[in-house]
């Protein structure tokens, strides 16, 4: 049996982890994303050790000063150093982004998997509840939940995560419905795997790509949502800084002190781009089909 079967299969065998990592390294934009995210993450972690002024120390002599040698990024309406507040604020903002999305993914994806995989009345119940939650505007729900839980950064993150969850339920369910019909899922049943093994080993890896992309986009939404909650006093509690709360204060002084809005705005922008690039890169790197 030697006629034409020797089709040119790709060359050398590869280990999975090194393959993903090598693909990541070759992907320029993913590297840029990684660098951006790492940069802000390091800043956030290193905040207590950096030689910067106290982020909450006010100074009546330095109110709304433009960037200078003493205050590299300028000062805000209470005379606090913006660079320092940016670096400390990175902690709150990144945490708000990552934690709340982690909550949304960890709850939303399993429910979506279960709904899509089992179908029937299980799907009915989960889907109807999801639709009801989706009918509420994201931010309104986050505000309501945060108000109910009480004002603190942690509660704000939980509120944002729960509000973002229905999107993941619906997205996952839709993907599962498509993958469920593939022969390999039936093949897994024929081999004797149980439902849990099929869901985790056969379905989840094949629906993960769009979830990663959605997650990186939601990180951006979550950072901005935290800003809104802070503004209402439901997120990061003043005087502790977060980028969102800085932005909210800054909008009152846009014409007198544009730098107050510029820096946190730029930081949110960069982090969002960073996560998006990283997410796209991860999606490609984790897919064995892409060379």
Footprint of another protein on this chain (CB under 8 A)? 1-5, 7, 9-10, 13-16, 182-184, 186-194, 197, 201-202, 205-206, 288-289
Rank residues 205 and 238 by Cβ distance to another protein and give the closer one: 205
Rank residues 3 and 69 by Cβ distance to another protein and give the closer one: 3
Q: Are 260 and 211 in contact (CB under 8 A)?
A: no
Rank residues 189 and 251 by Cβ distance to another protein and give the closer one: 189
Q: Where are the alpha helices (DSSP H) in the chain?
A: 16-26, 28-46, 82-118, 120-135, 138-149, 153-180, 183-191, 195-197, 204-231, 243-250, 258-286
Give me the least distance between CB of 205 and another protein, in Å please.
4
Rank residues 69 and 190 by Cβ distance to another protein and give the closer one: 190
Rank residues 36 and 282 by Cβ distance to another protein and give the closer one: 282
d(CA 266, CA 269): 5
Rank residues 187 and 238 by Cβ distance to another protein and give the closer one: 187
Give me the least distance between CB of 23 and another protein, in Å please.
13
Q: Rounded to a whole number, what is the distance in angstroms from the first to the last CA of the chain?
A: 29
Give me the least distance between CB of 58 and another protein, in Å please.
55
**In this structure, what is the dihedral angle of CA atoms 136, 137, 140, 146, given to the nearest 10 degrees?**
70
Give me the least distance between CB of 212 and another protein, in Å please.
14
Give me the least distance between CB of 208 and another protein, in Å please.
9
Give me the least distance between CB of 10 and another protein, in Å please.
4
* Cβ within 8 Å of residue 210, ≥6 positions away: 171, 175
Q: How far is CA 253 from the centre of its chain?
A: 29
d(CA 139, CA 137): 6
d(CA 172, CA 109): 6
């Amino acid at each position: 049996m030697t006629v034409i079967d020797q089709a040119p299969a790709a060359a050398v065998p590869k280990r999975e982890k090194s393959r993903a990592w090598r693909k990541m390294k070759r992907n320029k934009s993913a590297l840029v994303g990684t660098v951006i995210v790492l940069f802000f993450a390091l800043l956030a972690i290193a905040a207590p050790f950096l030689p910067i002024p106290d982020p909450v120390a006010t100074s009546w002599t330095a109110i709304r000063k433009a960037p200078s040698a003493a205050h590299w990024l300028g000062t805000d309406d209470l005379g606090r150093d913006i660079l320092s507040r940016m670096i400390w604020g990175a902690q709150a903002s990144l945490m708000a982004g990552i934690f709340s999305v982690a909550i949304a993914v960890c709850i939303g994806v399993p429910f979506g998997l279960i709904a899509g995989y089992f179908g029937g009345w299980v799907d009915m119940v989960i889907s109807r509840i999801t639709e009801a939650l989706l009918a509420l505007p994201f931010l309104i729900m986050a505000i309501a939940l945060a108000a109910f839980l009480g004002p603190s950064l942690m509660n704000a993150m939980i509120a944002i995560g729960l509000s973002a969850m229905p999107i993941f339920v619906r997205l996952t369910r839709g993907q599962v419905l498509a993958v469920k019909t593939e022969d390999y899922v039936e093949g897994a049943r024929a081999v004797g795997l149980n439902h849990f093994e099929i869901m985790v080993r056969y379905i989840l890896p094949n629906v993960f790509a769009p979830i990663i992309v959605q997650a990186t986009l939601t990180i951006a939404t979550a950072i901005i949502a935290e800003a809104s909650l802070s503004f209402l006093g439901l997120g990061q509690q003043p005087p502790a800084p977060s980028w969102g709360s800085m932005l909210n204060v800054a909008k009152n002084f846009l014409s007198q002190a544009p730098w107050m809005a510029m820096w946190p705005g730029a930081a949110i922008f960069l982090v969002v781009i960073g996560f998006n690039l990283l997410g796209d890169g991860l999606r490609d790197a984790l897919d064995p089909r892409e060379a």
